[in-house]
Homo-oligomer: A and B are copies of this chain.
Amino acid sequence: MPGPFTLQQIAQRLGGRVVGESGILIRQVGSLERATREQITFLSNSKLKAKLAETRASAVILAPGDEKLTGLPRIVADNPYAYFARVSQLFNPVVTQSGIHPSAVIAPSAKLGRNVSLGAGCVVGENVVIGDDSCLYPRVVLYPGCTIGARVVIHAGAVIGADGFGLAPENGRWVKIPQIGAVRIGDDVEIGANTTIDRGALDDTVIEEGVKLDNQVQVGHNVRIGAHSAVAGCVGIAGSARIGRHVTIGGAAMIQGHIEIADHVHVSAGTLISRSLTKPGTYTGIYPFDEHDAWKRNAARLRRLAKEKKNA
């Protein structure tokens, strides 16, 4: 593990302004509640100032407006959370698995960049291209023809490029539509464990640079996700949806197919988006939960609404 570093050394590397004892040694990062001596923590929300008073950390990162909340040695930074992230990266550089595990199965026609790491049990199909410094954790499957950018991280169990759900009904049967597009993933994308991204039906499914997908996300065929968007766990994005740039989608939300979502839209957790959104903003559609009996009465009332209106 790198370090230790003094507060002064940290600020020299990452910027920010040191207040108090700048020679104090820091060996690791920690949370407000659990940090111990020689650890640095952060305050990104003034509401947590009570916890700050009790922290056992040796130093803290905070915003200019919160500078007076503690007497501890501190680094003042405009974005304490991002600053903390960088300090943590300093103490905890990503140790990717080194190299290609012997149990990985790589098609002869696949092209791997420099310093690509493939975990145990990965499967890389024909004509796949993987950019430099990308890291696939164990048991990732890349179907043939998919393209992965540089510095991409894919967690265990993810499946990239399986067939989209393309079926034409005919006389009560389903006729399969060959899925002849592929998946293209940009640079600096991170993909969570057991997430699935389907190949396109005709054209490609595209994940632009800097996109972050959490675990168990399902991305249908011909979806496009714009750069630097983030999608939380258990989200489903149906076929041919187009998600803008800098969009965030909360956990277990659902985006229906063939709709467009503008840049800088935020979809709340658990919300089903059923039509295009052309304006930035936060969109929500969650049924408010309640104690079961209260919910039951309320739901019954809700069901009668339309009828009452008609009779009124």
Which of chain B's residues have a CB closer than 8 A to the CB of A236? 216, 233-234, 251-252
Among A5-13, A16-24, A62-70, A83-91, the stretch in contact with B: A83-91
Report the copy number of this chain in the oligomer: 3
Interface size on A, residues (CB 8 A): 108
In the A-B complex, list the 8 residue pairs whose CB atoms are closest, starting with the nearest: A285-B289, A82-B170, A92-B178, A162-B193, A282-B292, A159-B193, A234-B236, A82-B168
Instruction: Show 26 residue pairs from A and B whose CB-CB distance is below 8 angstroms, ordered by the A residue.
Output: A34-B202, A34-B203, A82-B175, A101-B105, A103-B105, A141-B156, A165-B230, A174-B228, A176-B190, A196-B233, A216-B216, A216-B218, A252-B272, A269-B272, A274-B289, A281-B292, A283-B289, A284-B291, A284-B296, A285-B286, A285-B295, A286-B295, A288-B299, A288-B302, A298-B306, A302-B302
A: residues with CB less than 8 A from B are: 29-31, 34, 79, 81-82, 84-86, 88-89, 91-92, 94, 101, 103, 105, 119-121, 123, 137-139, 141, 143, 153, 155-157, 159, 162-163, 165-170, 172-178, 180, 190, 192-194, 196, 198, 201-203, 210, 212, 214-216, 218, 220, 228, 230, 232-234, 236, 238, 246, 251-252, 254, 256, 268-274, 281-292, 294-303, 305-306, 309
